[in-house]
């Protein structure tokens, strides 16, 4: 998980993403990778992948794993010590979702953060 956070911080810096947006992205990436590690019970050799993209005026972060189970936010009580990750993603991201991977194995969970003051580059 530390490698994914470091990679995202370095990439955000090279893209000159504002610090606040970059730190939000790192926090949300950490939640998605934690969920993948905790819930994607898959055979050895299957990996968890993280990818970040700059798409027009948004930064998109994706986490893929080999489990086909799509995530759903949970209802948690104040006493629960976990289970708030997707609720946090939904609250802080401008958009998020999950879909089955086109190769037929696993899923990708993603979120997007809008980049303020960044011009949209149209073809």
- pLDDT digit string (tens) for 40-82? 766 666 688 899 999 889 999 999 998 888 887 767 667 656 6
- pLDDT digit string (tens) for 79-103? 656 667 888 899 999 999 999 988 7
Radius of gyration, CA atoms only, the chain:
15
Instruction: Delimit the domains of the chain by residue range.
Output: 2-114
What's the pLDDT score for residue 10? 93
Token code pair at residue 103: 């190769």
Instruction: Give SS3 for 64.
Output: strand
**Which CATH number fits the domain 2-114, given the four candidates 3.40.50.1580, 3.40.50.300, 3.30.565.10, 3.40.718.10?**
3.30.565.10
Non-local CB neighbours of 64 within 8 Å, separated by 6+ positions = 48, 49, 50, 51, 101, 106, 107, 108, 109
Torsion from C-alpha of 103, 109, 115, 121, nearest 10 degrees: 10
Q: Where are the beta strands (DSSP E) in 1-123?
A: 49-55, 58-65, 95-100, 107-114
In this structure, the chain runs to a length of: 123
Cα–Cα distance measured from residue 58 to residue 11, given in angstroms and rounded to the nearest whole number: 14
pTM of the predicted protein model: 0.83
């Amino acid at each position: 998980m530390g490698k994914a956070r470091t990679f995202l911080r370095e990439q955000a810096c090279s893209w000159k993403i504002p610090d606040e947006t970059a730190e939000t992205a790192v926090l949300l990436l950490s939640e998605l990778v934690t969920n993948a590690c905790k819930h994607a019970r898959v055979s050895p050799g299957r990996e968890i992948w993280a990818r970040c993209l700059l798409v027009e005026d948004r930064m998109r972060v994706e986490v893929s794993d080999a489990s086909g189970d799509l995530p759903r936010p949970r209802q948690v009580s104040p006493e629960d010590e976990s289970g708030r990750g997707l609720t946090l993603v939904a609250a802080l991201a401008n958009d998020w979702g999950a879909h089955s991977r086109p190769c037929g194995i696993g899923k990708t969970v993603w979120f997007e953060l809008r980049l303020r003051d960044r011009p949209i580059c149209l073809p």
